Structure 1
Amino acid sequence: MIKLLLLASIALSIWYWRSVLKRMPREKRQRFLWSSVFWGVLLGSLLLVATGKMHWVGAGLAALVPLCKTLFAFSFRAWPLLQFFRRFKTEPSQFRTQNLHIEINFANQSMDGTVLAGDFADRRLSELNSDELNTLKEWLSGQDRESNILLSAYMLRAGIAGQHDDTSYGNSQQYYSTQLSEKEALEILGLETGVSHDEIVKAHKRLVQRLHPDRGGSDYLAAKINAAKDTLLS
């Protein structure tokens, strides 16, 4: 008798479920079906546990199956959105000269670089003390004026006094070129190949604001940033 009542209840529930599904708009049916599967598995598992035909651990695992599938489906739909936000990730701004490679990471507001030649080759600038930086700067002044100017910008932003600082960046433009390759321009603006016009303009504006001379930047860095934008938009 109990089995007959149970079967009748199940049949009535299925009939009611089908009638609700038929009346439901098509765009809402998929969500309703997943919800039905979840509750069906959950109630069925609880029933089996109550009748002693399934351990409660198995019931819990069974209930997780449709939930995991739902989460997977949600993650699949959310992936394009995650990729969209990834494009706005701030990449380090990179400046390369003959003897220096400097990166400015705005995520942690740090500026560091690597010496490419000379007695301090392969050393990080952050590893050098003020005396070593001044020694490097004196060597660069006779070897590579652009690297010397870039090192001055690093020392200025790091708050390190230099013995031979190039204080007049505007008058030192004769020592460096604003002719950049596409790769160099992308590195300076922290962008990747294939960026849009708006992304280039936004990156340029962001860097100019952050590397303004009043904020620890320099005319040299600003000139390179402007040249990078002009190169990519030409």
Structure 2
Amino acid sequence: MFLLVLVSGVLLYYRRLPAAQRGPFRIKALVALALFGVIFLALTHRLYLIGALFALMLPLLRHFLPWLLRSLPFLAGWYRRRQQRQSSTGGQRSRVAGEVVEMELDHDSGAMTGQVLTGPMAGRDLADLDQQEFLDLLSYCRQTDNDSARLLESYLDKRFGDAWRADDTVGHTESEQAAAHHNGALSDAEAYEILGLEDGADRDAIIQAHRRLMQKLHPDHGGSAYLAARINAARAQLLDRH
């Protein structure tokens, strides 16, 4: 009776979990079940059954082990693709783009990723660039698109803090105060992308998305004045339509 109640409670808890948390919970449940089984066998003096079971499975392991080893690369690739799909659909993401670079911010983790859109490094992920390539890209952005330069500076600040500025010998950087007063026009589509919302989101969704992003990116919390200004502009742009 106790086991029936326990299993029912675990199943009910499992069904209420978000989809992203069910995988880790299954692993923990299996480990707990295995430990419980070992403890039960030890208390009933039946640990020898584990050895007997292993002896029965040994021929099967010898038969299937080569196949498992050959399948490991495929299984690893499948697992990576599955994780990427989950991360891409598991939460809201904001997108801010200039002419040269674009950035994406995951609302849940606060992680920022970016990609080069145009120029000599087009197609490169920012995570793959080394220090000198970052400085070269920043110099190119400053020559071609101020929005991209500010975006890249925001990315570098979030990833490296102020350390990268010691190597920025050009020094042609607009102040945080000037960035905060950026007046670049936004389209509705750009505003929705910045807030990580679907086209046509209602007023409450806009306010909530703005609040979540500002908690992560406000300058008082170590964020970027430029990105905070763009988020505020996106909010104002969309609320004017409601």
Q: Deviations over 1:101-136 (max 9, x none)?
A: 110113333111110111111000011011110111
Q: 1:170 to 1:131 in 2, by over 3 A?
A: same
1:140 and 1:111 mapped to 2: Cα distance? 19
Aligned to 1:208: 214
Using the TM superposition, give the Cα deviation of residue 177 of structure 1 relative to its aligned residue in structure 2, in angstroms: 3.8
- Distance in 1 (alpha carbons) for counterparts of 2:115 and 2:227: 17
Residue 49 of structure 2 aligns with which residue?
none
Amino acid at match of 1:133: F
Unaligned 5+ residue runs, structure 2?
1-14, 16-89
Distance in 2 (alpha carbons) for counterparts of 1:103 and 1:218: 14
> In structure 2, the residue corresponding to 1:161 is in which secondary structure?
helix
Equivalent position of 1:138 in the other structure: 139
Distance 1:218 1:205, change over 3 A: same
CA distance in 2 between counterparts of 1:135 and 1:112 reads 18
2:234 equivalent among 216, 228, 234: 228
Aligned to 2:189, which of 166, 183, 192?
183
CA contact (8 A) 1:156 1:216 kept: no
1:141 Cα offset (Å): 1.2
d(CA) in 1 for partners of 2:117, 2:98: 9
Question: Which residue, 196, 219, 226 being the options, matches 2:225?
Answer: 219
Aligned to 1:161: 164
Q: Deviations over 1:185-206 (max 9, x none)?
A: 0110011122111111111111
Q: Which amino acid aligns with 1:127?
A: D
1:143-188 deviation digits (Å, cap 9, x = unpaired): 11111111000000001513147361222467x5432111100110
- Aligned twin of 2:113: 112
Contact 1:201 1:229 in 2 (8 A): yes
Task: Kindly name which structure, 1 or 2, has the bigger radius of gyration based on alpha carbons.
Answer: 1
Instruction: Kindly indicate whether the alpha-carbon contact (under 8 Å) linking 1:178 and 1:223 is maintained by their aligned counterparts in 2.
Output: no
Distance 1:215 1:121 in 2: 32
In structure 1, what residue type is equivalent to 2:173?
D
- Percent of aligned pairs with the same residue? 37
- Residues of 2 paired with 1:107 and 1:205: CA distance? 13
Q: Report the count of equivalent residues.
A: 146
Look up the SS of the partner of 2:186 in the other structure. coil
Summarize the Cα distance change of 1:214–1:161 in structure 2 as closer, same or farther, 3 Å threshold: farther
Residues 108 and 126 (structure 1), Cα distance of their counterparts in 2 relative to 1, 3 Å cut: same
* Partner Cα distance (2:215, 2:100) in 1: 27
Alpha carbons 2:110, 2:216 under 8 Å: kept: no
CA–CA distance in 2 between the matches of 1:165 and 1:206? 32
Are the counterparts in 2 of residues 152 and 165 from structure 1 also a CA contact under 8 Å?
A: no
CA distance in 1, matches of 2:141, 2:156: 14
